[in-house]
């Protein structure tokens, strides 16, 4: 592959985009770009963009394309993205998808693959409501499905501080699912029309989804 891979993970909140993006980082050396993480960092820093985004995120709505594109462009300008990127949670609107195409075209690139993680909406509320992450390294855990091997200690980095997202409550999750179906799901058709769409059943085991996804990435990287 001569140009860096640009992979998009599509799917509703709770589909496992973040988990799988982290695994693709480990397996292929790509960089995960999560607009949700970038926005949460902006909120934590108290920047003007973060202040504007905070209330929208807490309500489960979508932050304006203008803010999201500004933070994404900034991140894509950093040197570590040269091997390839995994976009997690972006694009979420057709305006963002068009802006991404334009941004990539400027660098002589296109989207390598958009991979839709297909899941049942009903299961997503339960998946999200119990999740938490290590405050040190970001490793994801779940009250029911994946506790650290030693209670209170991160398996990956040994950290002992964990955090839960403010928007991971049942009511906000329902709003986030609505936003996904109204504004983001149509992108499945958009990328299908471009011939770069792949779909996988993402209701199974994390390890088997990782393998399926890895095979797709190997396939598109070899083209």
Q: Does 62 bind ligand AMP (CB under 6 A)?
A: yes
User: Do residues 30 and 24 touch, judged by C-beta distance below 8 A?
Assistant: yes
Does 22 participate in catalysis according to the annotation?
no
Instruction: Please give the structure tokens belonging to residue 161.
Output: 């501080």
Number of residues that bind ligand AMP (CB under 6 A): 17
Q: How far is the CB of 153 from ligand AMP (least distance, A)?
A: 25
By CB under 6 A, name the one of 176, 191, 197, 213 that touches ligand AMP: 176
Catalytic one of 164, 178, 194, 218? 164
DSSP 62: P
Does 12 contact ligand AMP by CB under 6 A? no
Stretch that binds ligand AMP, among 61-69, 112-120, 147-155, 208-216 (CB under 6 A): 61-69
Q: Is 220 in the site for ligand AMP (CB under 6 A)?
A: no
Q: What ranges in the chain are assigned the alpha helix state H?
A: 17-28, 35-45, 48-59, 65-76, 94-106, 121-129, 170-179, 186-193, 206-222
**Which of 139, 26, 37, 156 is CA-nearest to residue 87?**
37
If binding is defined by CB under 6 A, does position 87 make contact with ligand AMP?
no
**Does residue 50 bind ligand AMP (CB under 6 A)?**
no
Angle value at C-alpha 85, between 165 and 194, nearest 5 degrees: 105
Of 102, 109, 69, nearest in space to 85 by CA? 109
User: Which strands sit side by side in the sheet containing 84-88, from one edge to the other?
Assistant: 31-34, 84-88, 5-10, 113-118, 197-201
Give the range of 53-61, 115-123, 142-150, 210-218 binding ligand AMP by CB under 6 A: 53-61
Q: Is residue 148 near ligand AMP by the rule CB under 6 A?
A: no
> Does residue 131 belong to the site contacting ligand AMP (CB under 6 A)?
no
Residue 68 in contact with ligand AMP, rule: CB under 6 A = yes
Burial of 191 (0-12, 13-18, 19+ CB in 10 A): buried
Of 4-12, 89-97, 135-143, 188-196, the segment contacting ligand AMP by CB under 6 A is: 89-97
Q: How far is the CB of 223 from ligand AMP (least distance, A)?
A: 27
Token output for 3:
């140009």
- Residues engaged in binding ligand AMP (CB under 6 A): 13, 35-36, 39, 56-57, 60-63, 68, 89-90, 92, 96, 167, 176
């Amino acid at each position: 592959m001569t140009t860096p891979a640009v992979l998009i993970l599509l799917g509703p909140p709770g589909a496992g985009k973040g988990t799988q993006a982290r695994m693709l980082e480990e397996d292929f050396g790509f960089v995960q770009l999560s607009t949700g993480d970038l926005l949460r960092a902006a909120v934590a820093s108290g920047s003007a963009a973060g202040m504007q985004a905070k209330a929208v995120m807490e309500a489960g709505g979508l932050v304006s394309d203008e803010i999201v594109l500004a933070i994404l462009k900034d991140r894509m300008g950093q040197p570590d993205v040269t091997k390839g990127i995994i976009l997690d949670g972006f694009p979420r609107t057709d305006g963002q998808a068009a802006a991404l195409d334009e941004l990539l075209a400027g660098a002589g690139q296109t989207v390598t693959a958009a991979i839709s993680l297909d899941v049942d909406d009903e299961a997503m509320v339960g998946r999200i409501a119990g999740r938490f992450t290590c405050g040190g390294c970001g490793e994801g855990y779940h009250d029911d499905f994946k506790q650290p091997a030693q209670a209170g200690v991160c398996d990956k980095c040994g950290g002992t501080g964990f955090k839960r997202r403010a928007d991971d409550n049942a009511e906000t999750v329902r709003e986030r699912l609505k936003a996904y179906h109204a504004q983001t799901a149509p992108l499945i058709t958009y990328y299908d029309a471009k011939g770069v769409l792949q779909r996988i059943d993402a209701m199974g085991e994390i390890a088997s989804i990782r393998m399926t996804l890895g095979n797709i990435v190997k396939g598109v990287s070899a083209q």
